[in-house]
Structure 1
Amino acid sequence: MTVLMTGFPGFLGSALLPGILKRVDSSAICLVQPKFAPLAERRVAELSGADPFLEGRIAVVEGDITQPGLGLAADALTGVTEAWHLAAAYDLAVRRDVAVRVNVDGTRNVLDTLERCPMLTRLHYFSTCYVSGRYAGPFGEEDLEVGAPFNNYYEETKNLAEAEVRRHMAAGMPATVYRPAIVVGDSRTGETQKFDGPYFVMQWLLRQPRRALLPLAGDPTATRVNVVPRDFVVDAVGYLSGLPASEGRTYQLADPRPLTVEEIAEALAEATGRQLIKVPLPRKLARASLAHVPGLYRLMRIPPEAVDYFAHPTTYLTDHCRADLAGSGIEAPPFRSYVDRLVEFMRGHPEVGSAAMF
């Protein structure tokens, strides 16, 4: 029995792997690009040092999802029984050709490779809630092609990639799709590998005096920001992936009671010790200003692409997720209950960046 994982040693894959290997009595192959192999080997050593149970069970194999056959020998993965596909170009400013190559072609190559794995019992595929694009209204776990415009090429190509996965599911491939909302650090420790999303706002507030300016795009009392901590995603996926009933399902790993933009701004202000001076702006003006006004991005360090998520019209339904987690004790904690720990970790770890791995 062998588990295949792409996207290691990324933020979620590194946290998920120990739990997967506790659930299934097998070894793991982590497919990594050559440039990430040294980091992956260090991460394996860290995981094995923290839990001797993992010693000798995780192999780092160099390959590339953008290559047919993943850049491996034809028979290298025939023993795979469970696959986890997390690798993606997660960058809101990604060029379309790069996003297509990694997210769409890469997923297609993984699916084609798994078609040649006769013992495959399940593919666990990581998508994103934002396959919805800018759909105005409630977006369900079975929804996908709803005709809404996309904020960026990341969203568009993740939508196309999930459509590929669903086509294979319809043809008989056993799979489960997970769609996280915006994932931030651990709710207990604040730990994260990347500062993006709400962290851009935290950093901007912390660079200002006690009375801090914060532009708010769109209607901050009407739109909501759906944020979940890494430990909720890891715990929920770890539990759901072990359920026979999760085969064929799609789960939106989102907060069923997300805060409005105004509420999340107030929570961030309180956690950073700032008093907000709110500056209302139309979304397109806020985005264009960051993109084109000389010096503004250098001052604020908020990417123009991030603005869209603070004026996002979609709400995410979590019916399957909540139904199948019922009785497990696993649920998305309220943002206000852990925002202080996110800020504390960010303040203590200036070395953490915002760059994506791909």
Structure 2
Amino acid sequence: MRLVTGFPGFLGSALVERLLGRSDEPVACLVQTQYREAAARRAATLTDDAGVPRNRIRLVEGDVTDPELAVDDYERLRRETRVVYHLAAVYDLGVARPLAERVNVDGTSHVLDLAARADADRFHYVSTCYVSGRYDGTFTHRDLAVGQSFHNHYEATKFEAERLVQAAMTDGLPATVYRPAIAVGDSRTGETQKFDGPYYLLKLLLRQWPVAAVPVPLRPSATRLNVVPRDFVVDAMAAISAREESVGEVYQLCNPHPPTILELVRALGRAAGRRVLPVRGTARLARVATERVPGVADALGVEPAALPYLSQPTTYTDENTRRALADTDVRCPLFSSYADRLVAYARDHLDEDTGAMV
């Protein structure tokens, strides 16, 4: 049995869809009680769309913050689990440290413990490129602790969680680590469950017409934002996780040709029907204003913790990812090729925004 955490979240749902098509093996999804109904609806949709029996997805109520995952029958789960995909995490850039540690660090430790007790054949862990923190330089799949500082508790705790996974790998756990860059909607449909990251810029654009002023760093053509669509991340994970030679490896699922900040805001502006006026050198000022002046962040639709990424000095490499995908048709598309679909979907669904990274 394959165990997936992080369902019915943004990436977890798409990954389960891919796993249903891989074999007839059941997929167990660890689901928090408050998300049980949403998970049941999502599971029914996925199985019906795939034309497979609904019992192919088994929902297991639990919580990664509990040492035994708060499940009714931990021993049964241990006995039946063969492969683990651990995606559950708090993806909120503004998360408080205690919650981030409880979910991202302790939760990963507990799922690792289950995998060890189950003597699992494989452990797949979803980290993030932003374990790099604010590293000034090129960050490769071989890097982790490079003396970096962190923008927020999300980055810091994902870094600590990956350290746990890599330590377990060193001790013999057959694990693989995936580091997505900033994930946005599906490149074909624009579908997403969250409107953060670049969507904060889009919200700001949509609040202005016909000209939209956007805060950008002093050199917006020298800074890049590494954005990847959900379908690329999940397709890459599905393809790489099927390879035996991926055991013990770290894969950065990033865009080898990321847009500059200027290219990104102009692509969003074109898709939104706005003429963009980049206001250079104001990204830092915008962060201070949104953090310290009441009401500014809500009025602009911007999360203050997202603004430092407009001047992120880190470059990410993906050479081993491209090698692993060379004989597949999985490629990361250029942002400009699907920006219009992201904007179209967002226009229709922004009122459903919960403000959380799922």
Classify the TM-score, shorter chain.
over 0.9
Distance in 2 of aligned mates of 1:47 and 1:320: 31
Matched residues in 2 for 1:330 and 1:274: separation? 32
* Mean Cα deviation higher: 179-188 or 285-294: 285-294
Task: Give the letter aligned to residue 209 of structure 2.
Answer: P
Q: What is the rounded CA distance, in whole Å, between the counterparts of 1:95 and 1:194 in structure 2?
A: 19
2 CA distance for matches of 1:141 and 1:354?
32
Structure 1 residue aligned with 2:166: 166
- Cα distance in 1 for partners of 2:352, 2:2 equals 30
- State the match for 1:113 in structure 2: 114
Out of 161-170 and 234-243, give the one that drifted further. Answer: 234-243
Q: Look up the equivalent residue of 2:102 and give its one-letter code.
A: R
Q: Where does residue 35 of structure 1 map in the other structure?
A: 34
- For 2:352, give the aligned amino acid: V
State which drifts further: 49-58 or 63-72: 49-58
Residue in 2 that maps onto 1:188: 188
Q: Is the 8 A contact 1:82 1:121 kept in 2?
A: yes
Q: Secondary structure at the match of 1:71?
A: coil
Give, as a single letter, the amino acid of the residue that structure 2 aligns with 1:310: L
SS at match of 1:332: coil
Instruction: Give unmatched runs, 5+ long, in structure 1.
Output: none
In structure 1, C-alpha distance between the alignment counterparts of 2:74 and 2:293, rounded to whole Å: 52
Question: What code does the residue aligned with 1:186 have?
Answer: D
CA distance, structure 1, for counterparts of residue 191 and residue 137 of structure 2:
32
Provide the residue aligned with 1:128 in structure 2.
128
Query: After TM superposition, where is structure 1 displaced by more than 4 Å over at least 4 residues in a row?
Result: none
Structure 1 residue 350: Cα displacement:
3.1
Distance 1:294 1:74, change over 3 A: closer
Structure 2: any 5+ residue segments left out of the alignment?
A: none
Cα shift readout 1:97-139 (whole Å, capped 9, x = no counterpart): 0000000000001111111103x11011000000000001110
Residue 248 of structure 1 corresponds to: 248
Q: Distance in 1 between matches of 2:66 and 2:221?
A: 46
Instruction: Determine if contact 1:225/1:258 at 8 Å carries over to the other structure.
Output: yes
Distance 1:244 1:307 in 2: 39
Deviates more, 1:46-55 or 1:258-267: 46-55
Q: TM-score, normalised by structure 2?
A: 0.96
- Return the offset for 1:71: 1.3
Give, as a single letter, the amino acid of the residue that structure 1 aligns with 2:67.
P
For residues 37 and 158 of structure 1, do their structure 2 counterparts lie closer, same or farther at Cα, with a shift above 3 Å needed?
same
Matches within 5 A, 1:34-53: 34-53=33-52
- 1:143 match: 143
- Aligned residue pairs total 356
Paired with 1:348 and 1:280, the residues of 2 have a C-alpha distance of 30
Report SS of the residue matched to 1:116: helix
Q: Give TM-score, length-normalised by structure 1.
A: 0.96
Determine what percentage of the aligned residue pairs are the same residue.
Answer: 49
